[in-house]
Chain A
């Protein structure tokens, strides 16, 4: 056992602390090349990561960078810097600690490159940028340790892949580098350990005491939840009561729009003027920081928030977490609950509030999963190649390299350890020439090979590459500002802004504002006294219910009685059983009925929102082929409802696997989701630059859309690398065809078709579901023609004889 140095022992004693077992373990294993600690929030997790560094640095002999700390959030880096100051100042350790994020000033960043601190706190993007400089070898030369905080959160996205690629570069510059990962409770720690270590180094996993089980329940309200919707406005009085009973409450929502609407309604009902704030990713930095510091001071009774507060920042004494809406995913729920009560060995307290009747079932299923410690998650696929392309460009900015060296470094990253040389060469070729079947750019290559060394053709290109580092793909957003001020209120999606006309009102940061117009890429607004806004539809992420949770729900539906469910929900399920049939895990239930004289068909697939959406698109396509005349559909996590001109008489052939899969291939190439995915991958891989010095100057966006590039590639170069990447991404992302496959495997073509005289109890909520999608194709053309005729009619222009003759030929595109 490695003993704490006396200085540290005294400091622990002075604070009345003794070293936690996992902190001692981390100290004992400090020379391991890689080590993963699984620990709940609180409990001195961060200190256990830093303790070996503080001890190694205490004698003041180390010069330059010693420890890198990487976290997913800028705010977390700033928070840790504050917390780390306490031991360093109190023990008077000769250690310089600085952070480096997107918010760090240019001068400070330059200084850090010339004279790096002992401990640098940063984010994956800032670290990748740091490796792109020519002086990277000097900056990282003496580096000993890297601590990756909240590694489970990074692991879920491409940011983790980018970070591990950057570390592979740094490891080559500092061969003695040791890695430490700090993670919340996850379902598969081995997978994270595999990502963390430099392949094939071993990585042991240490477990801290997880503490007592959380005290978690469903919020009981006098009023039953509504049939549909996600707002949970019915629960506001009960939520306010809970807020009053506790010191500080975090109220989590699944989307930003829901958080905004709930916050607004909470204020209208807040007769006691409880101090309540709102925090989500689309708010301006000033706004978020204001709420964060009020929180730390203990000035707020509650914060309405989204995933932006998911990570381990210490917000002070949170003693209750409320989750509004079904959690969709048990692991995330457990991590959110962990936000309450940071005192070690005290249970976290949490309440779940179902937003509608079906979510009651989901919440109860999730409660049992939490009690059973049954976490869910999807296995992570191989390292995405668009991120690799960006890494190659970043590497080129730092100076010449050989393909062999870079390949060796890249395959030392766990996620890329199985990358073939051919696949790597494809990425290198894409970076150099665009990788097109038509070799058009031999004269204008981006990267050239001279004497076996790859380098930028034009070194000035490094500026553009650096400006576009990162893998976070926000939907295109516009800043929102009050007229004639510089103060930003936050951001809304470009698509949402396009639907606004002057005079419209919407919610942002809990305020109702009126849209005045668009000026130089900012949305100009004024305050508005209205009580009811036009709803803010900026989305945030919509999660799909996980496969594991979905299976629990299906099991629950099969129970004979439901004593654990509130009466209103149990009665509803009973009614479904009597009136129609309960969905089963190994069969697809299909219900047909007429509603408002129009035939409706409901398919209960239980495959999660994204997959059910895809299923809706595929089924309507099949229905078109069968001549049912589908008009539109709506999808939820558990069902898809289609309405059509003619009724579906036999749904079984619709589920024919070959038919669905062929339709999928055909549909995929022209699909909007694919185009959206393509835009993301094209940005990451460096085909489209979101930021350029010119664009920043003029504030103008790209002059034509990436959709055109997608269509052109699909037509002329269908085997292009980026199209392959796009398909891989879409299959596991928004399209989620994997879950449709899972559904088809478990149901094996067993379809139960129930014909009903009217809507069934389980289908009733679908009637109220928003997000209906019109079926495209001939229908849309007809709609547009009618719209055009209507406008001509209204304006009277169609009665003027001098109307220009219609062109007598058609332009074919």
Chain B
């Protein structure tokens, strides 16, 4: 902690338990938060290492900023507050961009996204209207736009909210619930692997504006110059094809990034 700031030094002594963001002279470190239970975007392996597409994207951004990414995985619901109070410099966790979120934090769009349901194989996935799911049990992750969407529109269904996507899948395969709403790519990955025997992604998509306009990197309001630096890095990744290359490692379909 070679900080020249007197206040900082004072407080560091006064409260040993507080962590201080050390201003590294050589290469700056960017503290980034993510979910960790969101395959294939972020997963924690048995050595405690966080890997996945969101992590590869973040590391590519850090490389462009000549910075080192320092990743932390935590509960999704707590990520935005953690950016607000400075726990992380940014959060890369496939957050849907909504007007509500943009009131409290800045968001940098990094790919187009859409929302779907996963449902049992033998059910009809062409109609995702609330009437169709009346009396059924539908799950989503707490703190997501999907949870809010279900709460607002699916009052006729039994709604179940889970700490992470993983628990929702567990209950879907156990037959406790009939559908899980989520981002299409992550649902796709699940039905390719664990859920391939029981379930499929609905053919219909949810296009309601409340489920957001693409996925965004979350950053504290007015955090310049970091905001413009990250925006430039994202633009560059899209123009030189780096994003497509990373995406192709995880998905057989392409995705865009419309402004």
A and B together in one complex? no
